[in-house]
Amino acid sequence: MLANPRHLILNLLLGTGGEALTARDAVASCALFAVRESSTRVALARLAATGLIEAAGRGAYTLGPNAAELAADVATWRNAEKRVCDWNGGWIAVHVGGLGRSDRVALRGRDRALRLLGLGELERGLHLRPDNLVGGVAAARERLVKLGLEDDAAVFVAKDFDPGREQRARALWDGSALTSRYRAKSRRLGDWLARSGTLEPPVAARESFLLGNDAIRDLVFDPLLPAPLVDVEARRAFVDAVVSFDAAGHAIWKRFLNAGRSRHPASRARSALATPLETTQ
Q: pLDDT truncated to tens, each residue of the chain (281 aa)?
A: 446 889 889 888 877 767 888 999 999 999 999 999 999 999 999 999 999 999 988 889 998 888 877 787 788 888 989 999 999 999 999 999 888 778 888 899 999 999 999 999 999 999 999 999 999 999 999 999 999 999 999 999 999 999 999 999 999 999 999 999 999 999 999 999 999 999 999 999 999 999 998 999 999 999 999 999 999 999 999 999 999 999 999 899 888 888 766 655 443 333 334 455 545 55
Question: Are 196 and 208 in contact, with CB atoms under 8 Å apart?
Answer: yes
CA distance 69 to 194: 36
What pLDDT sits at residue 269? 35
**In-domain check, residue 33:** no
Verify that 193 and 246 share a domain, yes or no. yes
Exposed/middle/buried for 83, CB within 10 Å: 0-12, 13-18, 19+? middle
Verify that 248 and 180 share a domain, yes or no. yes
Domain end point (choices 99, 130, 158): 158
**In-domain check, residue 225:** yes
Verify that 181 and 152 share a domain, yes or no. no
**In-domain check, residue 154:** yes
**In-domain check, residue 217:** yes
Question: Are 93 and 127 in contact, with CB atoms under 8 Å apart?
Answer: yes
Structural domain boundaries, residue 123: 90-158
**In-domain check, residue 24:** no
The total domain count for the chain is 2
**In-domain check, residue 19:** no
Verify that 147 and 196 share a domain, yes or no. no
Could you tell me the maximum CA-CA distance found in the chain, to the nearest angstrom? 68
Rounded to the nearest angstrom, the gap between the alpha carbon of residue 24 and the centroid of all alpha carbons in its chain is: 25
Verify that 181 and 248 share a domain, yes or no. yes
What pLDDT sits at residue 281? 53
**In-domain check, residue 118:** yes
Verify that 196 and 235 share a domain, yes or no. yes
**In-domain check, residue 234:** yes
Give the count of alpha carbons within 13 A of 16, CB side only. Answer: 23
Say which CATH number the domain at 146 has: 3.30.70
Q: What is the pTM of this model?
A: 0.85
Verify that 181 and 247 share a domain, yes or no. yes
CA distance 153 to 97: 9
Rounded to the nearest angstrom, the gap between the alpha carbon of residue 152 and the centroid of all alpha carbons in its chain is: 26
